[in-house]
Amino acid sequence: MPARVIRVNPTEPEAEAIAEAARAIRRGELVVFPTETVYGLGADGTNPAAVARIFQAKGRPPDNPLILHVAAPEDVGPWVGITLSPSARELRGKANDFSAPAGRLAIGGNNAAGLGELARRLMDLFWPGPLTLILPRSSRVPDLVTAGLDTVAVRMPAHPVALALLRAAQVPIAAPSANLSGRPSPTTAAHVLADLGSAVALILDGGSTAVGLESTVLDLTVHPPVILRPGAVTREELEAVLGPVRQWPELAGRTGRRDGDLPAGEREPGPLSLEGGEAGPARSPGLKYRHYAPLAPLYLVQDPAKLLELARQKKARGKFVGILASEENAGLYAGEGFLVLVTGSRQRLSEVAARLYTLLRAFDEAGVDLILAETYPATGVGAAIMNRLWRAAEGRILE
């Protein structure tokens, strides 16, 4: 049965629509809802049967855990294995005081209090918003949600529709991005329909999502904290609060290929692991899965002049070339029969982030033979953009 799509006002969602969606959640059904990052495929996070339906609908491997979404920091308490500080206490200058040995924080040990303060401080500063925190779990979280890990991911989204739904449902909502596994995360209800149209009961359509890339995932259970997935809350912003934070090296594993010729076959992506060894093995199971890869191979090309040269070569060999261009360089590629899609201005990387997934889907629909994509500076939200592009390129970078 095709999903029922209800259009909702994204800033002041209609109470009736929210009530209906909340009832569906409480009945154990799947409800798709907009967040400020991407659309989520939600189910009652306290109901294992409902959570199992998420994995089924997405074709998601069962060892990849889900984020629990909450309506307020106060709602996190029952699901984590630490005590959060009660309020936005004045902790200036204390953020880095908790003396943890390198490696895993002892859960329930002396560091738990420091962790509770840190978590609360980050919630006060960045919630509601695109920051997911990995914390020790409590025994009340279904194992399916955490994929059996001893940690749980929690996030309070900023979208009015998501918040209204969470308040009405009165349960934490477990929700991955509402795409089929291996497809780009959906930033519109149309993307959701294309991927999951017949697998979900209800889609709340609140228009395009603002951020366009998934939330920053920050693991607070290791010291120093590790960004497992860069997003719109940037490393720079987190370091201003936490001191040094490590980040998954989105450009590690680059090929270093300099001959400018495209590799003949598909290259195996290198192993995805965290830099260094202190944090132990990759702690986000999501990191080990092959993420979205366009149907056509995508190559990152740092130099626009080189990109143009490659595009001409490929076209001369009869290829339909897609180019993912910034506004500043788009003119360079115009009028030569390439499919040029424009991400936005290099001066406004948040625009680039917001459009990225829509454009990658558009290349698939147009049936290009290959995609040549410009690169962006990997600072600020650029780190999130380059992380997703690098994954889509599966390591194919030409300098």
Where on the chain is the footprint of ligand TXA (CB under 6 A)?
A: 35, 37-38, 40, 64-67, 130, 132, 134, 146, 149, 151-153, 155, 157, 175-177, 214-215, 217, 228-229, 283-286
Q: Which is nearer to ligand TXA, 175 or 324 (CB)?
A: 175
Tokens representing 251 are 């450009």
35 is a contact residue toward Mg ion (CB under 5 A)? no
In terms of C-beta distances under 8 Å and separation of at least 24 residues, what long-range contacts does 44-50 make, across chains too? 44/169, 44/171, 44/173, 44/174, 45/69, 45/79, 45/141, 45/142, 45/145, 45/171, 45/172, 45/173, 45/174, 46/140, 46/142, 46/171, 46/172, 47/142, 47/171, 48/142, 48/143, 48/144, 50/25, 50/174
Cβ of residue 162: shortest distance to ligand TXA, in angstroms? 8
Q: Which of Mg ion, ligand TXA, none does residue 66 bind (CB under 5 to 8 Å by kind)?
A: ligand TXA
Question: Cβ(178)–Cβ(41) under 8 Å?
Answer: yes
Cβ of residue 240: shortest distance to ligand TXA, in angstroms? 22
46 is a contact residue toward Mg ion (CB under 5 A)? no
Q: State the residue for tokens 């195996």.
A: 268
DSSP, collapsed to helix, strand or coil, labels residue 383 as helix
> Is the previous residue joined to 61 through a cis bond, with omega within 30 degrees of 0?
no
Cβ of residue 184: shortest distance to ligand TXA, in angstroms? 11
Q: Which of ligand TXA, Mg ion, none does residue 65 bind (CB under 5 to 8 Å by kind)?
A: ligand TXA
Cβ of residue 315: shortest distance to Mg ion, in angstroms? 34
Please report, as a single letter, which amino acid is at residue 44. D
| Residues 162-191 interacting with Mg ion (rule: CB under 5 A) | 176-177
Adjacency order of strands within the sheet including 339-342:
339-342, 321-325, 370-374, 298-301, 397-398
Q: Which of Mg ion, ligand TXA, none does residue 209 bind (CB under 5 to 8 Å by kind)?
A: none
Cβ of residue 176: shortest distance to Mg ion, in angstroms? 5
Size of the site for Mg ion (CB under 5 A): 2
Q: Which is nearer to ligand TXA, 216 or 326 (CB)?
A: 216
The site for Mg ion (CB under 5 A) is made up of 176-177
